[in-house]
Amino acid sequence: MQHSFVHLHARAQPEQVIAACAHFVVKQLNAAIAARGVARITLAGGNTPKALYDALASPLHRNEVDWQRVEFYFGDERAVPQTHPDSNFGMAQRHLFMPLGLAPTQVFPMISTPMFPLAEEAKRNQNLLTSWAGTGVPRFDFMVNGMGDDGHFASLFPDTPALTVRDRWVVVNPVAKLDTERLTLTYPIFEEARTVCFLVIGARKQAAFSAMMQPESTLPVARLIQSRTTDWFVDEACVNRATQKELP
Ligand code: 6PG
């Protein structure tokens, strides 16, 4: 059963998924810039988005957006310095910001250099968001997310405290299963955004993808898709064959 709030952009092969998602990102950013003069986007970390960021910085797309009018934020970040190989900022720096030659003033890493204690970083990010959002829930134009095989997104992992936070936008989230702490945006931010997209590729994600579509699912990602419209860019390996129509 396809969830009524899920806009599925399914493609047979990963490279087709990346191409479709890159076109979608360009379109959404340009719409935001045309409407408000600026586009505020949050990026996902992990591995899957690397190919998307490479595509956006490639000759095919790099001239399609006035990148100076885009502000880049993050959905979550690991508790590591920007130069650490696990840093989501570092990954985006290599695959998107440097290839596009972006000014540091338009990129907002969640972790400072040098790194402060995580609770201080959370407060700093909270203040950054309220500096342009005021007292309401900060509204991003576009949010790029991945999904873990356990149904987490950003660093909203199953059975973690951040899942119930609704009065703060950025929190430190202890993730026992990873024996670490993460910084993550909270649900109100994802619920408020103009467009939320997921880029999910590979058979490893198939079980979580099928599970989240069940109305009674309590996976972190299921709570979001039950509350708002989301756009999903997925490949054949991720979509459960049972629900799959012929993919282009
Ligand atoms: C992170 C991400 C996280 C990621 C998923 C999927 O910090 O790792 O924000 O939510 O999107 O874990 O990661 P992959 O794309 O590597 O499978």
Q: Which atom of ligand 1 is nearest to the CA of 146?
A: 11
Question: What pLDDT score was predicted for residue 158?
Answer: 98
88 CB near ligand 1 (under 6 Å): yes
Question: What pLDDT score was predicted for residue 185?
Answer: 99
Question: Could you tell me which residue, 91 or 1, shows the higher pLDDT?
Answer: 91
Q: Calculate mean pLDDT across residues 78-99.
A: 98
Structure tokens at 119: 């609770």
Question: What pLDDT score was predicted for residue 248?
Answer: 58
**pTM: predicted TM-score of the whole model, two decimal places:** 0.95
Instruction: Kindly state the percentage of the chain with pLDDT values over 90.
Output: 94
Closest protein CA for atom 11 of ligand 1: 146
DSSP classification of residue 153 = B
96 CB near ligand 1 (under 6 Å): no
Burial of 63 (C-beta count, 10 Å sphere; 0-12/13-18/19+)? exposed
174 Cα–ligand 1 center, Å: 16
Closest protein CA for atom 13 of ligand 1: 46
Closest protein CA for atom 12 of ligand 1: 148
Mean of the per-residue pLDDT values for the chain? 95
Question: What pLDDT score was predicted for residue 1?
Answer: 46
Q: Calculate mean pLDDT across residues 100-129.
A: 97
pLDDT of residue 218 exceeding 80, the answer is yes
d(CA 66, CA 79): 32
Which helix (H) or strand (E) element contains residue 59?
none
Q: Calculate mean pLDDT across residues 35-46.
A: 98
Question: What pLDDT score was predicted for residue 162?
Answer: 98
Confidence class for position 240, pLDDT limits 50, 70, 90: confident
Q: Domains in the chain, please, with CATH?
A: 6-200+216-235 (3.40.50.1360)
47 CB near ligand 1 (under 6 Å): yes
3-state secondary structure of 168: coil
d(CA 138, CA 127): 11
Q: At 94, which amino acid appears?
A: R
Q: Quick: pLDDT tens for 2-30.
A: 455 899 999 999 999 999 999 999 999 99
176 Cα–ligand 1 center, Å: 16
pLDDT of residue 244 exceeding 70, the answer is no
DSSP classification of residue 51 = H
Q: Calculate mean pLDDT across residues 109-136.
A: 97
145 Cα–ligand 1 center, Å: 8
Q: Calculate mean pLDDT across residues 49-63.
A: 98
Question: What pLDDT score was predicted for residue 139?
Answer: 98
Question: Could you tell me which residue, 233 or 244, shows the higher pLDDT?
Answer: 233
